[in-house]
Amino acid sequence: MLLRLHHSIFSASSQKVALALAEKGLAHESVPVDLQGGEQHSPAYRALNPRGVVPTLIHDGAVLIESAAILEYLDDIFPERPLRPSDPVIRQQMRAWVRRLDDVHHPANGMLHYAVLGRPALLALAPERLEAVLQAMPNRRDRALRAAAARQGVEAPEFADAVRTQEEMLDWIDRALEDRPFLAGAEISHADIVALPYVARLEQMGLAALVEATRRERLADWYRRLKARPSWAITIGALPQQVIGHWQSLGRAAWPHVERHLRIRPSAPATPSS
């Protein structure tokens, strides 16, 4: 059994698969893909993943793409330590969560990331190089969002939408936890694993107050419990502190632009917790 994960430690989609592998106790080989250097568009990588995105998991030679589908595959092939509820209704609810997070919140997370954290590097590129970076992205929606992040940053209408969308995600999570400890029932499942990287990214961007100081107490408790698991420590929790510190200072500078789009303003100042 050989599992090889082509990924970036900074990518939310990669983190989902890394978290699932960790929760299931599956050893794997790690192959970093340099997203900033454009390695995702190299012919060798695009032969594995035609959309030029991470992650890609290789299992005994089979090439697996799309993080949500990879999570399903891992539970099909390695049923020990299941990450899917056995009740068909709750399992359906879990899949609805995953779909919503992927379709709606993933692009919003990317918009926030690139408008606040990735923009300085994009603007440092010569205009022709920036254009080439954008044109290399085969998916039109991804390309349009990246262009808006680069050209208008926090002033882009897509940025305001993304802030509201991620705030809505926090509300949805908080509400779902009213009668259950995890998003799809009594145990951790794909739903929690897919949501966690997006909540973590808000904190890593110095926006922890959105999670901690808005009286979304069930959300804050869920987040604390997930961060206490060993799977966190070896994935999202292992990101270099130097990078997180840099992200938090960029996030602090962007805070006024985030705050003005919020429905519920945090009750405490947006001090980052590291």
Ligand X SMILES: N[C@@H](CCC(=O)N[C@@H](CS)C(=O)NCC(=O)O)C(=O)O
> Does the footprint of ligand X cover residue 13 (CB under 6 A)?
yes
> Does the footprint of ligand X cover residue 12 (CB under 6 A)?
yes
How would you classify the pairing of strands 29-32 and 56-59?
unpaired
> Does the footprint of ligand X cover residue 11 (CB under 6 A)?
yes
CB atoms within 10 A of CB 158: 19
> Does the footprint of ligand X cover residue 137 (CB under 6 A)?
yes
* CA distances from residue 159 to 151, 223, 258 in whole angstroms, order as listed: 12, 24, 9
Q: Which of 5, 23, 40, 226 contacts ligand X by CB under 6 A?
A: 40
Q: Which of 54, 148, 176, 183 contacts ligand X by CB under 6 A?
A: 54
> Does the footprint of ligand X cover residue 166 (CB under 6 A)?
no
Provide the mask over 71-110, with x wherever binding to ligand X is found by CB under 6 A and - wherever it is not. Answer: -------------------------------x--------
Q: Among residue numbers 167 through 196, which ones bind ligand X (CB under 6 A)?
A: none
CB-based contact 67:19 (threshold 8 Å)? no
CB of 264 to ligand X, least distance (A): 27
Residue of 119, 169, 110 lying closest to 145 (CA atoms) = 110
Candidates 64-72, 93-101, 218-226, 243-251: pick the segment binding ligand X (CB under 6 A).
64-72
C-beta of 17 vs 220, nearer to ligand X: 17
Q: Among residue numbers 207 through 226, which ones bind ligand X (CB under 6 A)?
A: none
b/e for 217-227, b at 16 or more Cβ within 10 A? ebbbebbeebb
> By the criterion CB under 6 A, which residues form the site for ligand X?
11-13, 35, 40, 53-55, 66-68, 102, 137
